[in-house]
Structure formats: C-alpha cells, structure tokens
Chains A and B, each alone.
Chain A
Amino acid sequence: MQTEATLAQSDVSELDLVKRCQAGDTEGFDELVTRYRTRVFGMIYNMVHSEQDAWDLAQDSFLKAWKSIGRFRGQSSFYTWIYRIVMNVTIDWLRKKQIKGGGAEFDDTIQLTQIDPASKTVPKTEPLPHQAMERDEIRARIEKAIAELSPEQRAVILMKEIDDMQYHEIAEALGCSIGTVMSRLFYARKKLQNLLRDVYENV
C-alpha cells in the first residue's frame, strides 16, 4: 500500500501526465501506461483466465482511455477512471463470450498452448516439481471457482481482495452504488467459500 505522502506525490504527477495527454502528448500517455499496465493486465487476466485475451483486452482498454482522455475531469483518481474503462471492456467481453459459448469459459488446454516459450516466466528460485504441481492445481481450482461467478461479482471480489480497493472506489469503477458492491461481495465470498473451503483449509 502507498503512504499518503507518496499517494499525494503520485497524484500530482499523474494529473500532470493526464493534462499532457489531453494536450495530445503520447509520451505522457506512455508513462501512464507504464505505471498501470501490469496491474491492469493482472486484473483482466484474473477475470478472463487467458493471457492472450487479457493482453488484447488490456490493449483495447488503454486505447479507449487514450481516445476518451479528454473527458477525464480529475474528479476521481486516474486509476479509478481507467479501471472503469477496463471493467466495462472486460465485462462486455465476458458477457458476449457467455452468450456465444453457452457459459463455458475456462479451458485448461488454451492456457497450456498460449504460454510463450520465450517469455520471462521462469521464477528465480524454482520450486520442487511436486510443489509446482500442487501450486498449479490450487491456482486452477481458484480460477475455476472464479469462473463460476458473474462478471460483476468477479470484478468486485478481485478489486477488493487483490487490489485492496475501497468500496467507493469499486463502486465508481463499476458505476454502481456502494450497497450493490457490498451485496455482490457478500455473494461472491459465500460462493467462493463453498467452492474453495478445502483449499484454504489445507494450504
């Protein structure tokens, strides 16, 4: 978590970057992308469970943000603003995919074929084979459980548990009330607790 001082500092420079972007400065936007690309990609990946799709959706989200940066008034943080775009793009995509694919989303085979052999994914300290396997299994269980949530519930639980966002920030990012956020969080937790009880009890 950022301290208040660093938060204030980064907010000032962030606003400055936003102003540069609004004046058409692509380098300023590049700087903003560098700051948020990993978080945005990670959030989308956790929602769609596919590297390729997460990459494309993150690209589309940033492009949309660039096109509409002129409308950003600085009433919320840039982070919340970009998350709103990210969530709109990702939830729309998930809904379309659900309609097309009859609800089935998660696919292990896609995951395995989409790993880039040249990518820097090898950890510095390699876990033992049985540990790696166990971890993969746990991760697969979690992803499968998350895939059973509605797109909105996924968004809420990931923003709360992974990004430590406040209720009002989540509400702003999703364009709904704080009460709705809390209600979705309640049902998402209940469902995940039922699906993953044996995992978190035994880890």
Chain B
Amino acid sequence: MKTFEEKWTAWLDGQLSRRELSEFEASLPDKAAAQAEKAEAKKLGELLKRELSAHPLTNEEFFSHQLRERIVQESREPAGVGIRRSWWTIPRLLWAGAASLAVFLIFTFAVMHEQNPAEESQYLTQILNARVDPVVSPNATVSIFEVKQDRVTVLWTEGLQSLPADYAAK
C-alpha cells in the first residue's frame, strides 16, 4: 500500500499505472491545483538540471594522477599496518593481564599474611587488668595472665612496695 507521498511523487514523475493514475486523480480534491503544482515541480526540475548539471571538474588529469599515487601508496603499506602500529597486540594484552593478576594475588596474600601474627600467643588475654592504689605504690603495676593450654591464671605484680593488710583478708 503506497502512502500519499509515494503516490504523489509517482504521479509527478509519470510512474503510476493506468489504474493507479485514474484512482489517484479521482482522489484529488482539487485537480486544477494539483496540475499547477505538477507544472511547478517540472519547472523546478528543469531549473536544477540547467543550473547544477554542468559543474566541471577542473584538472581532470591531475585528479587521476593524485588517485593513482594514493593507490600506489596504499598498496605499499602492508595490510596489517593499522594493527601493527599499536604496541598492544592481543597476546601482549593477555600476558599483561595475567601478569597484573599474579602481582595482585601476591600482594594480597602478603598483606593478609602480615595481618595474622607470626606466632599465636599462648595467652588468651595478656593483660586482663592493671589496677593499683597510687597512694600506696605509685609505680606499681599488676597484670593477670591466663594461659590457655594449662588453664592457669597468673597474677604478676611489679613495683609493689607493700601489700596492704586488708588485701590479705580478702
């Protein structure tokens, strides 16, 4: 099914069949106006043909010479020159990718390994508490250790000048 634009164009160019022509012309609301427009389109075509068809190519031989030169130049260049110009060939890209992945894995492993202590402490808690009365022993520290394996708790005191009497009672 042709659109109106297609039918109109075919009508202007005399490309409608006899049946299409009679159908199309019967469908036109104003046949006189359509004929006037057809005449205008013809004038436009003649104007374009007269004014635009004779633009000369000056220096025709030079045109062909230049083209020959370009063809020779193109044929001298190897077919894959565009690809070879780039350093990033596909094998190189693959190798670079694999190397980058390996370096990443090595660094990741090293960093994670560093975060874990070299030897795990035998103590569950190294310092559980440190509390001394500063009036009695200003430089004293008291630490409590709990050894996991032996299930022993050690009380460690340093700089304790005297043990208050009331401590013993407790």
Residues of A within 8 A of B (CB): 26, 29-30, 33-34, 37-38, 41-42, 45-46, 51, 55, 58-59, 62-63, 66-67, 116, 119-121, 135, 138-139, 142, 157-158, 160-162, 167, 179, 182-183, 185-187, 189, 192-193, 196-197, 199-201, 203
Is B120 part of the contact surface with A, judged by Cβ < 8 Å? no
A26-B68, A62-B67, A193-B41 are contacts. A162–B53 as well, Cβ < 8 Å? yes
User: In the complex, are the beta carbons of A59 and B63 less than 8 A apart?
Assistant: yes
Q: Which of B2-10, B111-119, B136-144, B160-168 contacts A (4 or more CB under 8 A)?
A: B2-10
Please give 17 more A-B residue pairs, beta carbons under 8 A apart, in addition to A34-B64, A182-B2.
A29-B71, A33-B63, A33-B64, A34-B60, A42-B53, A42-B56, A51-B58, A55-B57, A59-B63, A59-B66, A63-B67, A63-B70, A119-B58, A182-B9, A197-B40, A200-B44, A201-B43
User: In the complex, are the beta carbons of B64 and A200 less than 8 A apart?
Assistant: no
A182-B9, A185-B9 are contacts. A42–B55 as well, Cβ < 8 Å? yes
CB-CB under 8 A from A186, the residues of chain B are: 5-6, 8-9
Is B51 part of the contact surface with A, judged by Cβ < 8 Å? yes
Q: B29-64 interface mask toward A, CB cutoff 8 Å, 1 = contact, 0 = none?
A: 000000001001101111111011111111110011
User: In the complex, are the beta carbons of A142 and B74 less than 8 A apart?
Assistant: no
User: In the complex, are the beta carbons of B56 and A162 less than 8 A apart?
Assistant: no
Question: By DSSP majority rule, is chain B's interface helix, strand, loop, or mixed?
Answer: helix
A109 to chain B, nearest CB (A): 19
Contact of A37 among B2, B48, B64 (CB under 8 A): B64
Is B12 part of the contact surface with A, judged by Cβ < 8 Å? yes
A115 to chain B, nearest CB (A): 9
Q: How far is the CA of A198 from the CA of B87 in the complex (A)?
A: 61
21 contacts between A and B (CB under 8 A): A26-B72, A29-B71, A30-B67, A33-B67, A42-B56, A46-B52, A46-B55, A58-B63, A63-B67, A116-B58, A119-B58, A120-B56, A120-B58, A161-B45, A179-B3, A182-B9, A182-B10, A183-B3, A186-B9, A192-B44, A203-B47
Contact of A196 among B12, B44, B72 (CB under 8 A): B44
B68 to chain A, nearest CB (A): 7
Q: How far is the CA of A120 from the CA of B12 in the complex (A)?
A: 38
A187 to chain B, nearest CB (A): 7
User: In the complex, are the beta carbons of B44 and A37 less than 8 A apart?
Assistant: no
User: In the complex, are the beta carbons of B48 and A157 less than 8 A apart?
Assistant: yes
User: In the complex, are the beta carbons of B49 and A162 less than 8 A apart?
Assistant: yes
Is B126 part of the contact surface with A, judged by Cβ < 8 Å? no
Q: B61-93 interface mask toward A, CB cutoff 8 Å, 1 = contact, 0 = none?
A: 001101110111010000000000000000000
CB-CB under 8 A from A139, the residues of chain B are: 51-52
Q: How far is the CA of A37 from the CA of B63 in the complex (A)?
A: 8
CB-CB under 8 A from A59, the residues of chain B are: 63, 66-67, 70
User: In the complex, are the beta carbons of A189 and B41 less than 8 A apart?
Assistant: yes
A200 to chain B, nearest CB (A): 4
Is B15 part of the contact surface with A, judged by Cβ < 8 Å? yes
A63-B67, A162-B53 are contacts. A38–B60 as well, Cβ < 8 Å? yes
